[in-house]
Structure 1
Amino acid sequence: MRFNPKARLDKGQVSDAGGGGGRGGGLGGGGGMRLPIPTGAGGGKLGLAIAVIFFVVAMCTGNVPGINQGGGGGGGGGGLGLDPSQLQAAGGQSAETDRYASCRTGEDAAASHDCGRVAVVNSIQAYWAETLPEAAGVEYTDAQTVTFSGSISTGCGQASAAVGPFYCPAPGDQKVYLDTNFFDDVLEGQLGGPDGGFVEWYVLGHEYGHHIQDITNQMRNVKTQQGENSDAVKLELQADCYAGLWTNAAVNTEDESGEPLFSEGPNEEDLRQAIAAAEAVGDDHIQKVSQGRVDPGQWTHGSSAQRIEMFKKGYESGDYSACDVW
């Protein structure tokens, strides 16, 4: 895609929390909707991935017995009995930086990947603000993207780069979180995924898909947490489909003044990157890398083939109803 140099960016939709401490660990006692990313210490040892994924999905959907559960579209509350405000205070999150201060126009977006991130978030939210009321009868509410490095405290618990990008549905939070080192360190470095700008744009489209599921109450449909036919897998595949919907319509999105955000839509290379990223984060691929065998009974996000299929379904149809997995 090419950014329109005349477009005006709303940098208020993206913030940067800076560095929050060391790497390692996972969503310590909390959870969020995320890509299935390997965790654990020791430079590429992925054996803890499946157990952590199970707990994260359960926490997000509010289905962990004995854990305080919040409202807000069915998302889980803070971790281990703490409310989101306690978690934020306990985590010592860094003060917001000026990382995006220079992101004003589409020209800036073309020159800087950080500013490109702002433009893409603007585009995703402009798409859903126009689409959701007509398609689902629900008004769209903005969700901020927060970038960080090292670790961060959220309403869903403490998170590090190891857990991958995620959306936290906890009341009072409802943000997308992204350690920008993740793409080189984990997706490409550990999982052999693709390199390229649209890889991140696909991931952002997926995480905002979870925000759509949150505000439309579809997260309440998740009753089963594991297995190739589980509700958890359906939820993740739907988020991939929603990412495809945005990709289809991105070139038609506009800034607040009506100026197009992009001068050209996604090209073949952009689509190749998105499909390769979906393949890299399929449960079967992660299991092969982490344990050398595939066990569909432990899936929480779907196979590579399923994820590619659902992204393509959204992209090729451009139809919100095509993503109805329920």
Structure 2
Amino acid sequence: MSFNDNVQLDPSQVQDRRGMGRGVKVGGGIGGGIILLIAALLGINPSLLEGLGGTSQDPGAQSQGTAPACASGADADARLDCRIVGTVNSLNAFWPAYLAQYNRQYPQPETVIFTGGTNTGCGAATSEVGPFYCPADTTAYFDPGFFQELVDRFGSSGGPLAQEYVVAHEFGHHIQNVLGNLDQAQQDPQGPESGAVRVELQADCYAGLWVRYATTQEDPKTGLPFLEPLKEQDLRDALSAASAVGDDRIQKAATGRVSPESWTHGSSEQRQKWFYQGYATGDINQCDTFGVATP
């Protein structure tokens, strides 16, 4: 979805660490599952790769700034880093009021843009991880280069909502952290009906829920909706991204076969299904991936 040109962005909600620091370990998230999948295929115990484990480590002193030159919705349409900023602004405006209906508070997460590698509360992370959320420091991390990887390596659409979906998915993990569901990924880490898969599908559902309301969520500074009305192509872009990061599709491309027993994020069909569930219903109660026999 495109942003309304006159919306005022708040770049202070996003830390810019591009070109700063190096990472050596991995996290988990929409791209972290790719690393876990490769580890499983190579016979490495995925529990050794502690992405979402929540073991807090001191990120250390690391210089950072805010995302530059991101002032308006027009900037968000023109630049990927500003699109991340605008999406973060929209999510941070949407979730507090939505959760308040259920008497739950929304502690605003941090967001970091980085390249190469960065230190996190979950350990050091490299760009190979892809986007991820660290519960130890309640921060979502994004290397903008991942979005091109999503197109080049995994065949996703490069449309705006494909990229915005990725940001909304990681914020979905923050909502799970707030509501107490996130740790189920570690308790049951692999398989088509595992806790890990259910956690990822629920984050997809939460992303779809945000999309349902994103075109009416107003910028508090201007009173204008952050995003323009949804078009059919926008929805196709988001579904394309959800499909591109399905475990079955990634496995097939990497090895020529599909091994559901090692899934950590769910199939392409499941990811599209639960994203659309959130979008179609606009109801967080319909995102209960743990309450169904087969997600």
Say yes or no: TM over 0.5. Answer: yes
- The 2-side partners of 1:320 and 1:126 are apart by 17
Q: Following superposition of structure 1 onto structure 2, how do residues 7-156 of structure 1 map, counting pairs within 5 Å?
A: 7-20=7-20, 26-27=25-26, 31-39=27-35, 47-48=38-39, 54-55=46-47, 60=52, 62=53, 76-78=54-56, 84-85=57-58, 88-89=59-60, 93=62, 95-97=63-65, 100-134=67-101, 136-156=102-122
- SS of aligned partner of 1:38: helix
Equivalent residue, structure 2, for 1:203 = 166
Q: Following superposition of structure 1 onto structure 2, how do residues 110-259 of structure 1 map, counting pairs within 5 Å?
A: 110-134=77-101, 136-170=102-136, 173-184=137-148, 186-222=149-185, 223-257=187-221, 259=223
Which amino acid in 2 is paired with 1:10? D
Q: 1:258 to 1:217 in 2, by over 3 A?
A: farther
Does the CA-based 8 Å contact 1:32-1:59 persist in structure 2?
A: yes
Q: 1:8 to 1:324 in 2, by over 3 A?
A: same
Q: Following superposition of structure 1 onto structure 2, how do residues 295-314 of structure 1 map, counting pairs within 5 Å?
A: 295-314=259-278
Which amino acid in 2 is paired with 1:107? A
- SS of aligned partner of 1:152: strand
Gaps in structure 2 of 5+ consecutive residues: 291-295
C-alpha displacement of 1:320: 1.0
Q: 1:15 to 1:192 in 2, by over 3 A?
A: same
- The 2-side partners of 1:2 and 1:53 are apart by 42
- SS of aligned partner of 2:155: coil
Does the CA-based 8 Å contact 1:166-1:177 persist in structure 2?
A: yes
Does the CA-based 8 Å contact 1:285-1:304 persist in structure 2?
A: yes
Q: 1:297 to 1:58 in 2, by over 3 A?
A: farther
C-alpha displacement of 1:158: 1.4
Q: 1:33 to 1:216 in 2, by over 3 A?
A: same
Does the CA-based 8 Å contact 1:33-1:57 persist in structure 2?
A: no
Does the CA-based 8 Å contact 1:36-1:283 persist in structure 2?
A: no
- The 2-side partners of 1:218 and 1:47 are apart by 25
C-alpha displacement of 1:116: 2.3
- SS of aligned partner of 2:164: helix
- SS of aligned partner of 1:176: strand
How many equivalent residue pairs?
A: 288
- The 2-side partners of 1:160 and 1:49 are apart by 19
Q: How high is the TM-score relative to the length of structure 1?
A: 0.81
Q: 1:324 to 1:39 in 2, by over 3 A?
A: closer
- The 2-side partners of 1:111 and 1:235 are apart by 33
Equivalent residue, structure 1, for 2:3 = 3
Which amino acid in 2 is paired with 1:192? G
C-alpha displacement of 1:191: 2.1
- The 2-side partners of 1:280 and 1:258 are apart by 36
Does the CA-based 8 Å contact 1:47-1:291 persist in structure 2?
A: no
Does the CA-based 8 Å contact 2:28-2:129 persist in structure 1?
A: no
- The 2-side partners of 1:276 and 1:219 are apart by 25
Q: How high is the TM-score relative to the length of structure 2?
A: 0.88
Taking only aligned residues, the RMSD between alpha carbons, in angstroms, comes to: 2.5
C-alpha displacement of 1:103: 1.8
- The 2-side partners of 1:224 and 1:234 are apart by 10
Does the CA-based 8 Å contact 2:99-2:106 persist in structure 1?
A: yes
C-alpha displacement of 1:293: 0.9
Q: 1:7 to 1:193 in 2, by over 3 A?
A: closer
Equivalent residue, structure 2, for 1:68 = none
